[in-house]
Structure 1
Amino acid sequence: SLMAAVRNSDELIATRFLLGVAEAGFVPGILLLLSLWYKRSEYGTRFTIFISGNVLAGAFGGLLAYVIIGNMNGKANIQGWRWLFLLEGIVSFIVSLIALLIIPGFPEDEKFLTTKERQLLMSRLHPEHGTAGEQIRTVTIKHALFITLKDWRVYLMVLHNICINTALNSISLYLPTLIYKMGFDSLKTQLLTLPPYFFGWLFSLVVSLHSDHVQLRGHHIICCAIIGAIGFLMLANLKNAGMLYSATFLCTSGTWAAGAMTLAWIPNIFYHPREKRAIAIALILSAGIISVKGHMINASFLLIAAICAIIMRLVLKRKNEKMRQSEDEKKSTHKIPYIL
């Protein structure tokens, strides 16, 4: 809401910075929280449902902005874009207050659960989270930070996430511009952004359901990244408006599904201990917020992301084989097989 009161670029930059600081821990925190309440086999669908809020916001955000700016401009001597920031900020503030009351904490600490319910929950999550009688917090934050930073797989996933999010943010930010340049007016442009967003959301949900069903992540990420890359290659090389518009469906569906599956894969790769999982999620997600306009660049990034996923899948497959071959459990630092 403070952005509605800015008077110059410096104030706008300052308020945007504060917004970024406030939002920085939101997605990593929610992903960690979901990973504590659900089994790894359920991450795909749950994470996709959560992240689909961004997709639906993108679908209707432009149209909402068009309506608010068009109808509120000049009301109470306030410009339309200021009304947009003000109203969206007020709604967000109200929702945040409600969230404080309903979002739970760690399962073992929640007071709204009875002892029997807590034991039932922990036994359901066993052996992934431990039984109710086990000590879950096993390492200090300092040690967790150390073992996270020395794990080379973290940096591979950082690269992977940067590549996925570069394409994802690019299509999200520039989709209206792409459609507008196809020859449509402003209103039709806003309306025509809805089908690609909706299809991307639906495709992501179907992919996540299938991923949870077959207990595979890497295959889905690789295929979806390739689908997105094909879409960007079409945008870079085709001229026909109909074909270009069709390409946006491939871009949205491929990038968003790959992004959602990546979010579901990260907590599985860095599952134990819980503190390492939290730090790894934060580090990986904090390094993926950039965007570019070049379609060939976005296609290249998605192909690099697919290669990263292939490498990670091979690494995890090898670790699973070593765990199965190990006769002495003490030789295995991760007794639960990784989801590939």
Structure 2
Amino acid sequence: MKAMSFDETGGPEVLHLVDVPQPHAGPGQIRIAVRAAGVNPVDWKIRNGSTLRTLPVPLPHIPGMEAAGVVDEVGADVEGVAVGDEVFGAAQNASAEYAVLDEWAPKPPELTWAQAGGLAMVVETAARGLDLLGLSAGQTLLVNGAAGGVGLAAVQLAQARGARVIGTASRDNQEYLRSLGAAATDYGPGLVERVGPLAPDGVDAALAVSGEGAIPDLIALTGSPDRVVSIGDVTAANHGVTFTTGAEGRAFYSLREAAKLAAAGRLTMPVARALPLAELGEAHRISEAGHVRGKLVVVLD
């Protein structure tokens, strides 16, 4: 099968198209003919070697942790899914013509292949953050960095759970957040003063999706480090804030929650760019540059 791979760590140029044997579904797994695979920041962090200590991978390596496609092989002890079903989920080595899924949900027809291909990891990450915060109906959540994939998933999942959401984003993305029903404001210095008028009853919880710098303001707004969870700011622990990596447990139950919400028109995921598999390196470049609304994906015929 065709796949994108790298033999050494480095820039996007180390990615190249290769022919490799097809993987097969083991017990509890399914295999799909990939129609779209998502690109996440962790993919290029693995590729450039910055995660070698925390997330080592053997080389050569096929990147990609999420995909959508058509089931063509079902492993032992798997029930409720059959060859020919359309699914999305958490994958192994997803930037390829075939990929093995460990966790999955039915793909709603309301989502395109590109949208579904970039959904699994952002939904799981967002749901894990909300769970760690103990978010409940009637509370106000601040999402710092709300226009990327994880941020948009958090906004929509939180609203579906009955929370009121305020999201920070660049000016270009704020109107989109408002179209989803969230309040929106700028990120960066002065956050406490800007959020105050948007949350007259206070902020109950905050999810730090974007990079470093906002944690002190999020603590000030919520009143306690215990009310803040970080996904993107690795300095969180310095402030007594939980930094979640998934090592404490995953929230893959949320894939089916997201599928149901998408089918009901209550969750979507914009696709910033959909590129051919062979242009995965370009997708990595765009992701590294940041400020992507929604998801980047590679698509296969």
Q: TM-score, normalised by structure 1?
A: 0.22
Q: Which has the higher contact order (CA 8 A, sep 6+)?
A: 1
Q: Greater Rg, structure 1 or structure 2? A: 1
Q: TM-score, normalised by structure 2?
A: 0.24
